[in-house]
Structure 1
Amino acid sequence: MSLLELSTVDFKRYLHHAAHQLPQLEGWLVQDRHGTVLEASESPENLDPGWFSRLTPAPDHAEEWVQQQGEKTVITHIIKTDNDIVWARLSLALCGNIDDALEVSRFIRDSLNHEIALLYELNSMAVELSDRYEELHLIYDIDAQPLSYEKSQSAIKQLVKSCVDYLSVDFAYLWLPRQKIEIAQGADQPKRDEFQCVMSGCRQRFLDHVTASGEAFVGNSFDELARHGNELPYKITICPIKSREENCIGFLMLARMMNKSDFTNSDRNLLGAMAGKVTKAILSIYDDKTGLVKHEGFGHQLRRALEAKQNQSFHHSLILVNIDKFSVINDIMGFDEGDRLLLRVTHMLNDCIRNSDTLARLTGNTFALLLPNCSMQDAQKIGQKIIEDIGSLSVTNGEQHQNISCRAALSGLKHENQSVDRLLSNLNIALDIAREQGGNRLQIYSQYDTEQASRSVAMRWIGRIQEALRNNRFVPYYQPIVPLQPDDTDEPHGEILLRYIDDSGAVIAPGEFMFAAEHYHLMPAIDLRVIELVLEQLPRDTSGVWSINLSGQSISEPDFIKKIVERIELHGINPRRLCFEVTETTAIRSLSEAKLFIAELREMGCSISLDDFGTGLSSFSYLRELDIDYLKIDGSFIRAMAQDPTAHIMVKAIHKVGQSMGLKTVAEFVETDDLRQQLIDIGIDYGQGYLFSKPIPLAEFLKQGY
């Protein structure tokens, strides 16, 4: 106890008691071991030097002594704790007989000793509580909020340790076989090791018992333990750890030596509370159905492997395994059969790997395996065995029968600059390729594979596209479609082209990100955003024709036409001023959907343009079935006209067919005066290309007053 803490003792209470009991009391003084005054009958500067200055040091080991100073007698007592850490000196100056004074002073001494000892004990407890604060805070956090993987791991270990620290037991033991968790705690290391060794031989019997009963168990004698098939030299209480579905996945046990006190129902209840906290920590980082590490925990271990790899020469490997058509099994066979299949696959995967490997369940039907110190050649053998083993499984439910297959992706941990997200993203790309190639195969990821590289670029574009949709990084550009024949209208006619503006302000054409948008089905969102941007910028009384591109995904999406109608009505734009462009490839691929979509747009008053015409193998036969207004000839034919007579003939033929059907023809990629003249001679109605204008922002074009 420090000087500050001693000064908190209310010595004045004792002074009042002494003054009341001893009329002859003339002064008193309390000092610490260094002579500093803690309390006095007068302020230290006014103390009578006659008795204060002449106090002699205490005799060796004396705890009480009396000094005579003229007519005054000074009684001195040492006040201290048993461990001599806290120490103070009480001195009383009196006149006359000291027999009564000794009795009173000794009472004051004993009372002060008791109070200071109590304060010291409370102070020690406060220090201990302060030391335990972080540990306790971690435990309480389990109830308050979800914990990270690292905090949950620490919490589990601390909870088991807290059982020993706070519940007055010799040992605490946690065993969760599916999670590969075994934690033994005890103050005595050799005895703890002995206890853990004993438990390894009987833990399965205890698990079977609590699984069957579903309840906590107390055993305080050899007879009680023997009735359950165990002969432990300890008194125990044991509580099951259960999953969310109330299945027993392990147990938490407390143990005392046989010569210690019995466990009571109160002990069992306390253990139940601790087991509940362990359960919450376990379920936050381990999958409830399979007992495997979840995505966050696997990412943590993978990150550690990547960090360790920088200082190691050996090779790590990573495998993702995806069960094919897992949702079909859940839908047809039922979720119970799906859960049983997950357990069978988990057991099979565990049989394929070593104890040093890590197996995780990342999503519903995707597993991950981290194989440290495993070459790509050995990992490939493991991957092939997994595919063969899972391929031998089947699920039967009544008359329903479903064979099981999977696909797997393999990558090495070779590069120091690899990140967890990039690694898993690359392997998911490889899984997609394996699925497209028929599944039931192992796909090895390589950064030099051109298809995988393009998919990797596409994956990186997903986030950028989604961010662009949220923060208006997509900007509509305008390129005019110019009349080539003198009798055509001078009203503006042009195509809306999409551009992406990156962080540096660079303008990026859709060729950079269109593959990603189409592959990950983001085109409907992009098309709708372009329509909104155009309608927001066009004046309500706009003239001319504004041509907007639509993707095949948008045409095939239910209610997309309804979304177009809603936005046209919201902005009050005359539908006759809008033209929607559909590529020939899209129209041919989804002819029935395209016909219905086109019919609804035309019914509103919009016009339709068939883009990139001439690329389809049966262009002319399909053209009769599509109710369109404009025929845009594919730019590859236009560009080739200067050197290839066949291209000139093709363009001329397309124009004649279009003209016979009452369609206006548009030539794309017109870049020279010679090409324009050839198109005029053929009779093409409109031209579009750099000869007339490069694309400019729509807002800039509208400012010109067109």
Structure 2
Amino acid sequence: DIDHRIILKDASVRTVHERAVVISDNKGRAVQMVGTVQDITERKRAEEEVVLLKTLILSISESKDLHDALVVTLEKVCSATGWIYGEAWIPDPEGKCLERDHAFYSKVENLEKFSELSGKYTFSPGVCLVGRVWSMKKPLWVQDVTLDPNYPRAAIAKEAGLKAGVAFPVFSDTEIVAVLVFYMLKTLERDERLVSFVSSVVVQLGEVIKRKIAEKAVMERSRLAALGADVGFALIQKGTLREILQLCADALVLNLNVAFARIWTLNKEENVLELQSSAGIYTHIDGPHCRVPVGMYKIGLIAKERKPHLTNKVIGDTRIHDQEWARKTGMVAFAGYPLMIEDRLVGVMAMFARQPLTEFTLKALASVSDVIALGIERKHIEETKARLSEITETTTDFVGTATIDGRVLYINKAGRKVIGIGENEDISNLRISDCHPKWASDLILTEGIPDAIREDSWIGETAFLSRDGREIPFSQVIIVHKNPDGTVRNLSTIGRDISERKRFETQIMFMANRDPLTNLLNRRRFHEDMEGWLAQTRRFGIKGAVLFLDIDNFKYINDSLGHQAGDKLLIAIADLLRERLRETDILARLGGDEFAIILPHADVSLAESVANQIRELVQYHTSVEKDFPPGITVSIGIAMFPGHGDTVETLLSYADLAMYRAKEEGRNRVCIYTPEQKTQIESRLVWEKNIHEALNRDNFVLFLQPIMDIRQNLIIGHEALLRMISKKGETVAPSSFLDIAERFGLIHDIDRWVVSRAIHLIQELKQDSKPAYLEVNLSGRAFADKKLLPLIRNELAETGIDPASLVFEITETALIENMAAAQLFIAELKSLGFRFALDDFGIGFSSFNYLKLLPVDYLKIDGSFIRNLPHDTVDQHLVKAMVEVSRGLGKKTIAEFVENEETLHLLREYGIDYAQGYHIGKPRHVSEL
């Protein structure tokens, strides 16, 4: 029995089994041979394939990973089948296309070039031979790939001489993990035996790969578990944040076998990432990567976008800028994670590797990044607590904590000082109620703590009680700290001593209701008190009188003796009126030389009697005659309520009319209102109508008076002065209509017109290349106008002017009448960039005092100090003092009523900044500039 090969006539080779029997004669000699010849080619081939398959499986099983298994398979299959060229293609990390992993080929001309060019291709499902197999999930045979229209490599295949091709999918369970493709140098029809053989190899390859993947996953999980343990251990160590994060970076390199790893933390103030640790092939933390602005380079972009950047294809990744470095160092994978606490960025963690990072590793790293972020946050909290402890012990504010039932746990150094407790004194028995007067304790326990529990915090004004019995007013915040289940853990409080503010508020409230010169009630407070008495009248039928007083010839006194003399007279008369009136009577200065009195429970006879006593008291009082020219008198008008009217405006108007009638009859008179005086009201109504028409028809106009920079001798801007154009085309000065506008409630409309026109005028001046700096006057009622601030904001947004080019002029009297509202008004406009000037500075006794309270930018020295400056040494000393004070407070000075060169020369010598007056220029229409 022998097996051997035979060559047939068609030159094909077959394997046969031959069996023969020798037939001998009677003498034992072989005379013939009888036998059979059996074709065993297929059986022999099957036996050889089984042996080859076992050899292949053994070789594949010894491979350390998928790549090595594919290398072995390609080489063994090509050697066993005679295919001249083989390739392995695997899905990219995102599973979107196939990338070539390895190629095996014989040393045949042009195959090396084909392999090199093929390595640059990627194929989507259905594209090329491998893409179709990936999509179809079954082997595919092509007799000649150069003729296949769905073969993008046809040209280079033809150049290499490749013809037939066959591809096989490699499965791990149901997932294709690779596609193998083989080529020959000749056209060949499908060989089912060959397909079957390679398919068997591929099935075994899939099983081996499945086992390798499982083994790798186990090892990977083990490494990641070790990484988690190492990072967790690092984060509980004591030390600086940099030392702790260095341990974390070391753990990443050790457990993941990455080339190097780095961790940055966010500097929120500078919006920069600062390198804290580096491990692996690079351990330095200085150089260009130590401070990375958020939004720049790959690390800064991760921080900006708050999203990881992961790739197993570093070469070609546009975010990896140093591609040459990546090629030289063999970097394959990059993983960068934002370190987040909820939606807050605290840093970035990143690493490079020379081998791909699996999806499982990348997901695990996301969890590790969360742990490291928590570690950074915990360290920040520890550092913040340390700083906070230092702050609470050095702050001058009261800081304390307590339990929900009111037991005090902690009081800082400043707090102990407030309530008189020693620094080391035991407070274990101290309760919240022991620290406050009863009213404040009741407020905290019944309102403060319950509200804080409901809203998380409460703020209010309370007081602490010192051991010496003093109540110290405090602004106090109570904060509730809760457990995760919502129950209250404890309370904390921060308190600030507001004693000085309370004193200031008391002073402000006093000033808001008082005339700063005479200390009498002002117009606003008089209106409030009058409204109160009218309400009593409507309810109980109480009667009374309103007296309106005006000093006769007061303008002559002011002009001849000066404003200071006029102020002195006003104070003297205010003192006289106080002495005469009852405690229940109400006395106010309405403004200028006008006074008003409310006489409750008075009839006409009593009102007239009191008025005449006041008139005589002023006329004959020796102190007045001693300091002033003889003949100081007052005219008084009387209106009765409710007989003459039941509103404040009506009664004041009627008493005002009666006072004017007294002046018309010769002054130093008392006159009671009569209906005949309504004709005067009608005149005023005409003025009111004219004002309405001027507003509706835009018959107001701003005249501009130049303001000169004294040092540069240059016009830098203008004061905008209001004028009305009458129906006859005449220009009407504001003194003719502003008082009436104020009495009839039209002053707000005028203020708004002036401000709106001034803003648009600045825009026009700038477009015409003229000095676009204006000063405008506001009335004393502007601060109470709720529509004025929104109007200014809208006009500013519409025109886009520089707010610093508009200065609002306000008088001291207007400010003091409503100091609190004025301060808010000024603060709001200054925050937008506008500036303020204090007009008529120096004429009031309190001018210098109020400079401490008013954030104005300019002081306009009243013209009464400037007109006679060259000839009045007192004015000279006063102006010098004003300049010195203004300079010390950082405010600029403007001199009004500059009427000659001699005055301008003195102002320049004294250091005045700006000048305004007829010598500089008269008010002119804007068209005349």
TM-score range, shorter chain: 0.3 to 0.5
Tell which structure's C-alpha radius of gyration is larger: 2
TM-score by length of 1: 0.37
* Larger RCO: 1 or 2 (CA < 8 Å, sep 6+): 1
